[in-house]
A and B are shown apart, each in its own frame.
Chain A
């Protein structure tokens, strides 16, 4: 699909490739990784460094003496926490902008992504035996392709509405028909180019059709379910937010019954209370 890669190349305002997160994922997989390597890596991105220091010195960790030393901060927080902060800082940078083509205001795509990632991680936690960080990261990035396609979608807006409302096509199906590529595939291609691991690329690429993500069906199913739960809870924004296909396969891949979905919504509700405060996601008046 050279044409799609050419298209990605031609997109203006493509966000710069995140350097830290793919490398960090590799590092954390190694046993006994030297923390100085992690410090060296995260110091490449000021937003990550700032997040790590802020978290270390926050009341949440109740540090006796504040530190400005990154090595010290990494030691205090632990690698898993550092990884989550790096992912959050990177995700916020990539996903916070308004995306006019999709009808996202500033911050909405980010809020959606965080809610979906939180939901997917809670499902993974409940089921056990999963790398929860991996589930979180894959789901956090599931809509990254919308950042690429937003401008093109804006150009075919009225046709897109027609496809969804009149012909009952999902958003992804309408994109594929009108643009030759949908946001899921575009996102997968972008992450592949950014050297993210194959499982994350695949989960993003197939987050609307997890069965096709072989051999990473489970990860794609988590992303699918996280995305659905975020929408059901109102953390799904933009035009025709519910133009999504129901895929029972996502439940069967994970061995879940439909009745479990409300349970995960309630878990997500509680978790979002904590997260909203921490990531400062909440509360702008919706009265505009």
Chain B
């Protein structure tokens, strides 16, 4: 509960589905809508204390170019480009970035017809690798529905698992 008390003074900013927010240093707590099989990605620059949070729903924008235009954050490929561009706009150096990932919940699916969570995770890892970025800490897959939080004051990344009362720390830089 200590963590919760500390966050009370911070401005809280919801990052909805298919949304991303990048902010300069400040007293801000970013948090996602529950991720489901989507991916939450947090980036944080411990030097400038700028950071961002992103909630992608699907792997690839090629299925709907019109929607990718309107909501680039909906897809992993267009969303990652947008996230890094926004960070660059704030003069955040890519080599400073700590990257965290969560989400990609999976049902028990022997058919493979409903494997959106697994597919999302694979694609994210590949896209990050292409950018020379690696995931610092992750909580991905499994049966949980997660919400991701990034506290810009400290760079702490927390997870709230649906059905569980307390938040859990994913990483404390």
Contact = CB atoms under 8 A, between A and B. Distances in A.
Given A233-B57, A241-B162, A287-B4, A261 B38 contact: no
B157 to A, nearest CB: 13
A197 B164 CA distance: 37
B40 to A, nearest CB: 10
Contacts of B14: 283, 285
Do most interface residues of chain B lie in helix, strand or loop, or is the interface mixed?
loop
Interface string B159-171: 0101111010000
Contacts of B105: 231-232, 241-242
B164 A228 contact: no
A248 B32 CA distance: 30
A248 B113 contact: yes
B37 A231 contact: yes
Contacts of A103: 162-164
Contacts of B167: 287-288
B77 interface: no
Given A233-B57, A285-B14, A242 B145 contact: yes
Contacts of B64: 263, 266
Contacts, number: 139
Do most interface residues of chain A lie in helix, strand or loop, or is the interface mixed?
loop
**A interface, how many residues as a size bin?**
35 or more
B163 A241 contact: yes
Contacts of A235: 34, 36
Contacts of B63: 259, 262-263
A237 B145 contact: yes
B163 A236 contact: no
A253 B168 CA distance: 41
Contacts of B57: 233, 265-266, 269
A283 B34 CA distance: 11
A171 to B, nearest CB: 9
A135 B102 CA distance: 33
Contacts of A234: 17, 33-36, 38, 145
Contacts of A93: none
8 contacts: A165-B143, A233-B38, A233-B57, A234-B35, A242-B145, A265-B116, A269-B74, A287-B12
Given A103-B162, A232-B117, A287-B167, 14 more contacts: A102-B163, A104-B163, A168-B108, A228-B114, A233-B17, A234-B34, A236-B34, A242-B144, A246-B111, A247-B111, A251-B113, A266-B74, A269-B17, A286-B149
Interface of A: 102-104, 108, 164-165, 168, 170, 228, 231-248, 251, 258-259, 261-263, 265-266, 269, 272, 283, 285-288
